[in-house]
Amino acid sequence: MDRSEALVRAGEILWGAWRQGTVILSLPDDCRPLTRAEGYRVQAAIEARSAGPLFGWKIAATSPAGQRHINVDGPIAGRLLRERVYPSGSRLSLARNRMAVAEPEFAFRMGRDIQPRRRPYSAGEVMTATASMHPAIEVPDSRFADFTAAGEAQIIADNACAHDFVLGDPAPQAWRTINLSQHRVQGQVCGTTRSYSRDGNGAHVLGNPLDALVWLVNELSSLGVTLHRDHVVTTGACTVPLEVIAGDQVVADFGPLGAVSVRFSE
């Protein structure tokens, strides 16, 4: 098979593992992506199997700790599939989720298309194209049994460990005047056997969630991919990931910018 067929096959293997809740050790040699660009082509093959239009994008590894955790050299992007997106207050299953963490995140909904171009987009241009900011919780997972050994190209192919995503209501437009790098976020876990909380802020996300959003815009532009109007971009964990078990409720409290919650079952 030619390279395009091989990368489509890789997407089919990862899609099957995702749907079945199974894991693989590695993609077969003849279809394993070897570069970042090939990893993103596998993602596109996964998107083609989704039941609806793409919901948006996620950014993974936006902190040195996150990069060490999945053994990559810098941030990577993944696709948010529409069938894995839920409103605040939803109940999600942790069955077969090996990561079992929840990540409070700043998310942004785009107000217009951003087309690929040779010149990088500036922060001002990206801000103008952004319609709203939302508190969000990402619940990641991997289709690899040992995601720390998969390597960057395979982790990108694995949709940058995307899994479930919970989106809160739009924040008041005052978010545009706030220094998000210093804005405090508290992740709270309340369970049947223990409760705890962890504080964080936007500085955990490439220094500022808006900087992460600009990174995503230019990453897609370099790949020839349009970031479409109404796509949601979630920018990475702004607290240390919250370990969760069945029975837990997680609340991500963004103070005056709102809150978002999710409950977990078996």
pLDDT digits (tens, 9 = 90+) for 186-225: 999 999 889 999 999 999 999 999 999 999 999 999 999 9
Residue pair 23/14 in contact (Cβ under 8 Å)? The answer is no
Q: Does an H or E element contain 187, and which? A: strand 184-190
Is residue 27 within 8 A of residue 157, CB to CB? The reply is: yes
pTM for this predicted structure: 0.96
Instruction: Please answer whether residues 229 and 56 qualify as being in contact, where contact means their C-beta atoms are separated by less than 8 angstroms.
Output: no
Closest by CA to 133, choosing from 23, 67, 210, 221, is 210
pLDDT digits (tens, 9 = 90+) for 2-31: 999 999 999 999 999 999 999 999 999 999
Please tell me the predicted confidence (pLDDT) of residue 69.
Answer: 78
pLDDT digits (tens, 9 = 90+) for 139-151: 999 999 999 899 9
- Look at residue 78 and give its three-state secondary structure: strand
d(CA 163, CA 216): 18
Mean pLDDT of the chain: 96
pLDDT digits (tens, 9 = 90+) for 97-127: 999 999 999 999 999 999 999 999 999 999 9
* Residue 249: count of CB within 10 angstroms of its CB: 18
Query: What's the pLDDT band for 32 if we cut at 50, 70, 90?
Result: very high
Largest CA distance in the chain: 54
Average pLDDT over residues 171-188: 97
The DSSP secondary-structure symbol of 181 reads T
What pLDDT, in 10s, does the model give residues 70-85?
Answer: 888 889 999 999 999 9
Tokens of 197: 């909380």
* Right CATH for 52-265 from 1.20.1200.10, 3.90.850.10, 3.40.50.1860, 1.10.3720.10: 3.90.850.10
